[in-house]
Chains A and B, each alone.
Chain A
Amino acid sequence: MKRFVALMLALALCMSLVSISAFADDIKITILVDGTIPDQNNGRDAFEARWEELHPGYDLEIIQPDHSAYYDVMQQRMASGDWPDVLILSSTYYADYAANGVLWDMTEAWENGQTKNSGRFTGDNVFEGLKIDGKLYGFAPTRGNGCVTYIKKAWLDECGLEVPTTYDQYIAMCEAFVAKYGTYAVSAAGFVGNEAPFVNYLPEFYQDAYPYFVQQEDGTWVDGFTLDSMKAALQRIQDAVAAGIIDKETLTNKTSDARNKFYDDRFGVFTYWAGTWATNLKTNLEANGHDGELVALKPLEGLPLYYDRVPPVWCITSKCKNPQAVFDAFIDTMLDGGDTQMLFTYGPEGVYWSTEGGFHMLENLEKAGTNYTKFHIDPMLALASFAEGYYDPREESVKPEAKAASELFNNNSRLAAIVPATDVLSELNGELTAIKSEIIADIALGNITVEEGYARFAEEGLELSNEIVDSLNALN
C-alpha cells in the first residue's frame, strides 16, 4: 500500500510539473529601450517584475544599451536581423523606419484600443502628427515637450519693466538688460539646433522661420531655408548679436555652457525646456546666491506658438510574431489609467515611491540626497489622465513652478512636423545641413550680410536643396 501511495504521489508530482510547464509557455515580449526607461541600477528589475505581475502570461525581456550609444546599437541589431518586438524611436528614425517597412502599422489596433476610447486620452493632435500617409506606426505616451522662454523676475523688477507681450517690448527689455547689466540679454547653445525643431532655443528671433523642409498648405514641400521668413529671421539675429543682445559665444556654447552662464547671472532671458527644468533653473540660481524667481513667457503677440518636439515613440517591428497581442498587453496598457500607468509614471512601489506617511517619492538609488521625480512617463506630459477614482499623486510630486511652466507650454505649443525619409534626403542632407549651419553662423556673427549668405547658398547648397525638395514632392 505504501508503495502504491508513493507511486501515485510521484505520478501526481510529475503530472503537475508537466501541466505547469505546459501552461508556463508565456508570450515573450522583447523590448529595446534607451535611458528613458531607468536602468538596472535604478529599479528596472523591480519594474519588470511588477509589469509581469500585472500582465500574467507575458514574459518581458528588456534590452537596454547605454543611452548615448542607443541608436548605434539599435542600428546594429536591425542590420543583423535580430529585431526586438518593440523599440523606442526618435522622430527621424520613426519616419525612416516606417517608410522602409520596419514598423507594424498599428492604426487599426489604436483606433479600436482601450486608451483611444477611454475618454481620458487628450493627445489626438499629437497622434495626428505621428501619422505617416495616414497610418500610425508608433505610440507616444507623452507629449514631446519643448522650450519656453524664462525671464529673470529680479532683472525685470530692477529695470522697472513689465513682462513683454510684443516683439518690440521684448527687444526693448533686452536692450534695457544690456544697458543696465553691461552684458548680453540672451544666450543659447548654438544659433541653430542640430535636430528638429532646430529653432527652439531662439524662438523670438526665428518667429515663423524654419530652416528645414516644410510642407505647405497645398501639400507641396519646400526648403524653409529658402523662404523670405528665414532671411528676415537671420537679419533679426544678426542685428541682435551686433547690438549685444544675443551672446556671440552662442556659436560655441554647449547646453551646459548656456545653463552655467544663466546660473552665474550673466544673462537674463533663457529659452529652455518646460516642466521640471523650471525647477532645476530656479534651484541652481538660488544655489549660486541669485534670485531664482523666473517668469515663463507666453508667445509674443503675432508670433507663432512654441514648438512641441515630436515625442519619441514606442513601435512594434514588422518581425514581431504576434503584434496585436503585444499591442494589447504592452502598448495599450501604458496609459490604462490604473496600475500599469502608475508603474510607467512613478515606477515600482518601494523603490521609487512609498505611501508611508503620505505619498512621497523615494531617494534616488544612485544620487544620494535627491529624490526620484518620475519613472518613464513625465506626469506633466502624459497624454491621458488616471481613471476616475484612481489616486493620482501628481499634486504631491510636482513643484508649482514646473507645473506652471508645463501648463503654459502645453497651452501655447504646436507639434513640429515629421519629414518623410527619402533616399535623396539621406544622401544629400548631411552636406546641406553643414552649408546652412555655416551660413547661419556667419550671418549671425556679422561676417557676411544676409544677401551674401544667400548668394553663397545659391552657389553651394541650392542644387542639393532642390533635389531633396523634388524627392519629397515625388512622394505626394
Chain B
Amino acid sequence: MIKSNSTSLKLLKLAKYLLWIGIILSLVIGILVFTGSQAVKSMLSEESQMANWVTGIVIAVVGSLAAWLISFLLKSFAQLVQDTSDIRNGVPPRSGKTVAEKPLLQRMSKYWGFYLMFIPVLIFVAIFHYAPMFGIQYAFYSWKVIGDPVWVGFANFDKLFKQSQFSVSFWNTIEFSVIKLVLNTGLAVIISLLLNEMVSLKFKKLSQTIIYLPHFMSWVVTASVFSLLLAPSENGLVNQLLIRMGVLDKGIYYLADKGHWRTWYYIINLWRETGWQTIIFMATLTGIDPGIYEAASIDGAGRWKKMFYVTFPALGNTIITVLILNLAKIMNLFESVFVLQNDSIRRATNVLQTYVYYQTFNAGASADYGYTTAVGLFRSMVGLALMLICNWASKKVRGRGIV
C-alpha cells in the first residue's frame, strides 16, 4: 500500500474548505449589500455610486467565482504534488491519466517555458483589451466626465431606442455594410477570375499592382480625391465628362445629394477595397491542381468551361469563408462614411459610429458619455451576435468555427 502524500491531502482539504467558505462569505456579503446594509457597503467603498442590487449580485457572483478558482488551483496543485510523489516512489502516477488528461496546472508545469513566453502577450491583452471593458458599466450611468457618474439603470437604452437618428444609423450600418460586402466580394471574385486568365505575366502583375494601390491611400486622401472628381463645378471631372457627352445639362452635386451619395459611396469603396480583396482569391486560384485543368482539356473543355466548371467551384469555399469572416465585422463602419459626409446628407447617412461621434462632439462640452457608451455597447452586442451566427455558419460550411 503506497501512502498518500500528506501535503497533497492537506492541500485538498484546504481547497475544499476554501471553496465553501468563499461561496458562503460572498453570498452573505452579497445579500447584505443587496438588502441595502449601509455598514457593509461603506466597508467596500464609501464613494460607490452603483445601485445596491447590482453591487450585491456582483459581489456574490465574483466572490463565488474567485473561491472556485482558488479551490481549483489548489486541487490541481495537490494532484501535481501527489503525482510527483508517486513517481519518486517508483509507482505510476495515482491519477493514471495521460498528459492531455491531466489537470491544467500539471500540463502547464510540463510546458512552463511556453507559458512563460505567453505571459507578456497575456498581460498586453489583459491591459489593453479586457481592462477597458470595465468601462461598459458607464452604459448604465449618466456621466459627463466631470462630477460623479449617476446610476440610471437602463434609461440610456430606453432613450436610444426612442431616438429616430439611432434607428436610422443602425439600419444604415447594416445596409452599407451588407451591400458593400456583397459588391466588393462579387467584384473581387470576377477580377480574380479575369486576372487568372491573363496570359502575359507582366501585364497581370502590372494590373494587380494598379488595383492594389488604392487600398494604401488613407480614407482622408481618398475623400479629397473623390470630392474633386465629383465636384459640381468645372473642376469636377465626372460632371464635365457627362456634360460633354451630352448626358447632363449642368453638374450634379453628387456628394450633397442623398440618393447619389449612397451610389458613390459604394463605388468609392469598390475602387479602394476590391483590389486588396482579390489577394485571397488569387491565392486560392494558384493552389488549384493543374492536373484538373489538363483533365478538363482532355475532356474537351474550352477556356470558358474550365473557368465555370473548375476555377469557379474551387473558389466557392473561399468566397463563403470571406463572406462569413467579413460579416462578423460589419458593425465596424466609421472612417469611410465619416470622411465623405457633409451637412446636407449627414443625418441620412449616419452609421452607429458616426452617430456616437456627433452625439459626443456636437453636444458642446458636457456630452453624456453614459449614453454614447450605451450606443457602443448595443453595437458590440449586435456584433457579438453576428459573430456567433457566423461561427455557427462556419462550422456548418467549413467544418470548423472562426472562434
A92 proximal to B (CB < 8 A): yes
Q: Is the CB of B232 within 8 A of A438?
A: no
Contact indicator B364/A96 (Cβ below 8 Å): yes
Give every chain B residue within 8 A of A431 (Cβ-Cβ). Answer: 163, 165, 359
| Residue pair B253, A248 in contact (C-beta under 8 Å) | yes
The A-contacting residues of B in range 339-384, CB under 8 angstroms, are 342-347, 358-368, 371
> Which of A222-230, A349-357, A419-427 participates in binding chain B?
A419-427
Q: Judge whether B362 and A433 touch: CB under 8 Å.
A: yes
B96 at the interface (CB under 8 A from A): no
Whole-angstrom CA separation of A371 from B40 in the bound complex: 65
Report the interface size class on chain A.
Answer: 35 or more
Shortest CB distance B3–A (Å): 57
Q: Are A438 and B253 in contact (CB under 8 A)?
A: no
Which A positions have Cβ atoms within 8 angstroms of B?
Answer: 75, 78-79, 92-93, 95-97, 100, 102, 190-192, 194, 247-249, 251-252, 421, 423, 425-427, 429-431, 433-435, 437-438, 440-442, 445, 447
The smallest C-beta distance from A268 to any residue of chain B, in angstroms, reads: 16
**Of A92, A97, A190, A434, most B-chain CB atoms within 10 Å:** A434
B231 within 8 A of A: yes
Please give, as numbers and ranges, the residues of chain B lying within 8 Å of A190 by CB-CB distance: 343
Known contacts A426-B364, A435-B347, A441-B343; 9 additional CB pairs below 8 A are A78-B146, A97-B365, A248-B253, A251-B343, A251-B344, A421-B365, A425-B363, A426-B368, A445-B344
Q: How far apart are the CA atoms of A433 and B358 in the complex, in Å?
A: 9
Shortest Cβ distance from residue B94 to the other chain A in the assembled complex, whole angstroms:
52
- Does the CB pair A252–B366 fall under 8 Å? no
B233 touches A426 (CB 8 A): no
The reply to whether A252 and B342 form a contact with Cβ atoms under 8 Å apart is: yes
- B145 near A75 with CB under 8 A, answer yes
Instruction: From the candidates B163, B233, B359, B367, name the one contacting A249 in the complex (CB within 8 A).
Output: B233
List the B residue with the shortest CB-CB distance to A442: B344
B375 vs chain A, min Cβ distance (A): 12
Give every chain A residue within 8 A of B253 (Cβ-Cβ).
248, 251, 445
User: With an 8 A cutoff between CB atoms, is B318 at the interface?
Assistant: no
Given A251-B256, A445-B256, A191:B365 Cβ within 8 A:
no
Q: In the assembled complex, which residues on chain A have CB atoms less than 8 Å from the CB atom of B144?
A: 100, 423, 426
Do the beta carbons of A97 and B344 come within 8 Å of each other?
no
Which B residues lie within 8 Å of A427 (CB)?
363, 368, 371
Q: Is B132 an interface residue (CB 8 A)?
A: no
Query: Chain B residues with Cβ under 8 A from A440's Cβ?
Result: 343
CB pair A437–B365 under 8 Å, yes or no, is no
Q: Given the known A-B contacts A100-B146, A435-B347, are A426 and B256 also in contact in the complex, defined by CB atoms under 8 Å?
A: no
Assembled-state Cα–Cα distance A430/B358 (Å)? 6
Q: A93 is contacted by which of B163, B343, B360, B365 (Cβ under 8 Å)? A: B365
A79 touches B145 (CB 8 A): yes
State A248–B360 Cα separation when bound (angstroms): 29
Interface of B is mostly: loop
Answer yes or no: B255 CB below 8 A from chain A CBs: yes
**B347 touching A78 by the CB < 8 A rule?**
no
Contact in complex: B359, A97 (CB < 8 Å): no
State the Cβ distance, A191 to closest chain B Cβ, in Å. Answer: 7
Contacts A75-B145, A97-B146, A249-B231: A425 and B364 contacting too (C-beta < 8 A)?
yes
Q: How far is the CA of A249 from the CA of B252 in the complex (A)?
A: 11
Residues of B within 8 A of A435 (CB): 347
CB-CB under 8 A from A447, the residues of chain B are 344
B227 interface contact, C-beta 8 A = yes
Binary A-proximity of B243-264 (CB < 8 A = 1, otherwise 0) = 0000000000101100000000
Contact indicator B365/A95 (Cβ below 8 Å): yes
B146 touches A102 (CB 8 A): yes
With A75-B145, A100-B146 as known contacts, state yes or no: A434 contacts B346, CB within 8 Å. yes
Give the size category of B's interface with A.
20 to 34
8 contacts between A and B (CB under 8 A): A96-B146, A100-B366, A251-B253, A252-B227, A430-B358, A434-B362, A441-B342, A445-B344
Which residues of the partner chain B approach A434 to less than 8 Å between Cβ atoms? 165, 346-347, 358, 362
CA distance A431 to B365 in the complex (A): 14
Assess the B364–A429 pair: CB atoms within 8 A: yes
Chain A's closest residue to B345 (CB) is A438
A98 and B359 alpha carbons, distance in the complex (Å): 22
**Residue on B nearest A427 in the bound complex, by CB:** B368
- Tell me if A430 and B363 are in contact (CB < 8 A): yes
A427 to B370, CA, bound (A): 11
In whole angstroms, how far apart are the Cα atoms of A437 and B342 in the complex? 9
- Complex alpha-carbon distance, A395 and B342, angstroms: 43
Distance in angstroms between the alpha carbons of A276 and B76 in the assembled complex: 73
Point out the residues of chain A lying under 8 angstroms from B344, CB to CB: 251, 438, 441-442, 445, 447
Q: What's the Cα separation between A251 and B227 when bound, in Å? A: 11
Interface flag for B300 (CB, 8 Å): no
B291 adjacent to chain A (CB < 8 Å):
no
B120 close to chain A: CB less than 8 A: no
For the complex, what is the distance from the CA of A435 to the CA of B361, rounded to whole Å? 15
CB distance from B181 to the nearest CB of A (A): 27
Contact call B231/A438, Cβ cutoff below 8 A: no
Cα distance, A95 to B365, chains bound together (Å): 9
Query: Which residues of A lie under 8 Å from residue B364 when comparing CB positions?
Result: 92, 96, 421, 425-426, 429
Using Cβ atoms and an 8 Å threshold, which residues of chain B touch A251? 253, 256, 342-344
- Is B147 interfacial (CB 8 A cutoff)? yes
A438–B367 alpha-carbon span in the complex (Å): 21
CB distance from B143 to the nearest CB of A (A): 8
Contacts of B165 in A (CB 8 A): 431, 434
- The CA of A92 and the CA of B366, in the complex, are separated in Å by 9
- Bound together, the chains give a CA A75 to CA B365 distance in angstroms of 10
Closest to B234 in A: A183
Question: For A102, what are the chain B residues with a Cβ–Cβ distance below 8 Å?
Answer: 146
Q: For residue A78, give the distance in angstroms from its CB to the closest CB of chain B.
A: 5
- A249-B233, A427-B368 known; A438 vs B145 contact (CB < 8 Å): no
Residues of A within 8 A of B343 (CB): 190-192, 251, 437-438, 440-441
Give bound CA distance, A430 to B159, whole Å: 14
Q: Which residue of B lies closest to A419 (CB)?
A: B364
Q: Which residues of B contact A426 (CB under 8 A)?
A: 144, 363-368
Docked-complex contact B365 and A92, CB < 8 angstroms: yes
A71 → chain B, closest Cβ, in Å?
Answer: 8
Q: Which residues of B contact A423 (CB under 8 A)?
A: 144, 366
User: Given the complex of chains A and B, what is the CA–CA distance between A194 and B364 in angstroms?
Assistant: 10
Query: In the complex the two chains form, is B362's CB within 8 Å of A194's CB?
Result: yes
Interchain nearest-CB distance for A428 vs B (Å): 8
Interface 1/0s, chain B 131-147, versus A by CB < 8 A?
00000000000001111
Q: Residue of B at shortest CB range from A434?
A: B347
Nearest chain A CB to B142's CB is how many angstroms away?
Answer: 8
A92 and B144 CA atoms in complex are apart in Å by 14
Question: A147–B145 Cα gap in the complex (Å)?
Answer: 33
- Docked Cα-Cα span, A248 to B365, in Å, equals 31
CA separation between A447 and B358, bound complex, in Å?
24
Chain A minimum-CB-distance residue to B231: A249
Please indicate which of the listed interface residues A248, A252, A434 has the most CB atoms of chain B within 10 Å of its own CB.
Answer: A252
The proximity string for B residues 12-32 relative to A, scoring 1 for CB distances below 8 Å and 0 otherwise, is 000000000000000000000
What chain A residues lie within 8 Å of B227 (beta carbons)?
Answer: 252
A461 to chain B, nearest CB (A): 11
Closest B residue, CB atoms, query A248: B232
Question: How far, in whole Å, are A102 and B146 apart by their CA atoms in the complex?
Answer: 8
CA distance A434 to B362 in the complex (A): 8
Most chain A Cβ neighbours within 10 Å, of B256, B344, B363, B365: B365
Report the minimal beta-carbon distance from A247 to chain B, rounded to whole angstroms: 8
Residues of A within 8 A of B145 (CB): 75, 78-79
Shortest CB-to-CB span from B29 to chain A, Å, is: 27
